[in-house]
Structure 1
Amino acid sequence: MNPKIVIRSETAADVNAITEVTVAAFQTLEISQHTEQFIVAALRAARALTVSLVAEADGRVIGHIAFSPVTISDGTRNWYGLGPVSVLPEYQRRGIGSALIREGLSRLKALGAAGCCLVGHPAYYRRFGFENAPGLVCEGAPQDVFFALPLDGQVPQGTVEFHEAFKADR
């Protein structure tokens, strides 16, 4: 039996569950530095979670996604970074991460966002329209795993810097 999945904005009551989901989701991922839960906490503390959604099944938080502002060296404004996105291991590969991404992008569009970028797995994120964008880079991230999705049709040119919270390690 598949429980009904509800995607909704996070509340203060979700904070501990979001941390648990994030830790569990990245625990066995070899490319992770296992700081994702600290990044989310630092984004929240800085009031930089523009969109923060949870996936809930039977009243239990089973997934989370965060979107936060980025800066771009060419001065382009109103772009956001996606990440991290987390789903409890026992719920992965059931479309929950995809539902979180789609709803998050929809909410960014409703806010008038110009675009979204991320560092992630090429085979996964291309299905949402993310592409490698020549001329748009993120220092420290190989170009083949850095993706952008213009929401207004314009791709900026320059270097993207994610929020300072992405440097959090505890």
Structure 2
Amino acid sequence: MLIRRETPSDIDTIAAVTIAAFRTLAISQHTEQFIINALRRAGALTLSLVAEMHEQVVGHVAFSPVTIADGSQHWYGLGPISVLPDYQKQGIGKALIQTRLAELKQLSAQGCCLVGDPNYYTRFGFQNYPDLVHEDVPASVFLALPFTEAVPKGIVTFHEGFGAND
């Protein structure tokens, strides 16, 4: 498996991978591909990696800046993350996340947050912090991973691109 930064020639493939990955996910609003494109157009796609196997893109992860009510800087949101259904449960998502978290730390990021399944993301060190919230989701699925001892407090707002629906 090769993990690399996205290139312009990957854009349509990333959309197809994302659509396929979320197609049967009941909690999805099926707008993830629009979110990625909106982040890219806004210049807010801080990091965008693809996983490639046998010269085929099989996975993708995006990171974008978030705003925190207490003014904390250099925090990022993880997602969407997508892996083609036939390649899921093979460690591709894990490799994408670990590679990208390491890269964020090199960029002087202070931490990362996401909305996702705690049973999956806690293995990477993500956890729920009661004083760090995202208003639009249940607290149990909003997780954060500080890269320093300082944990911000307040409402986290993802980039407006997360509201994209076309």
Q: TM-score, normalised by structure 2?
A: 0.99
- Tell me if 1:67 matches 2:55: no
| Distance in 2 separating the partners of 1:129 and 1:150 | 9
Number of residue pairs aligned between Structure 1 and Structure 2: 166
Cα distance in 1 between the residues matched to 2:45 and 2:150: 23
Q: Which residue of 2 aligns with 1:90?
A: 86
Match of 1:50 in 2: 46
Q: Secondary structure at the match of 1:147?
A: strand
Aligned to 1:156: 152
Aligned residue type for 1:108: L
RMSD of aligned residue pairs (Cα, Å): 0.5
SS in 2 for 1:152: coil
- Name the aligned partner's letter for residue 40 of structure 1: I
Gaps of 5+ in 1: none
Matched residues, percent identical? 61
1:108-149 superposed Cα distances (whole Å, 9 cap, x missing partner) = 001010000000001000000000011000011100000000
Corresponding residue number in structure 2 for 1:143: 139
CA distance in 2, matches of 1:45, 1:152: 31
Q: Which residue of 2 aligns with 1:28?
A: 24
Which of 145, 154, 161 is equivalent to 1:165? Answer: 161
In structure 2, C-alpha distance between the alignment counterparts of 1:47 and 1:62, rounded to whole Å: 24
> 1:154 Cα deviation (Å)?
1.3
Given candidates 101, 107, 110, the residue that maps to 1:114 is 110
Letter in 2 for 1:131: Q
- Per the TM alignment, residue 153 of structure 1 is displaced from its structure 2 partner at its CA by 2.0
Paired position in structure 2 for 1:103: 99
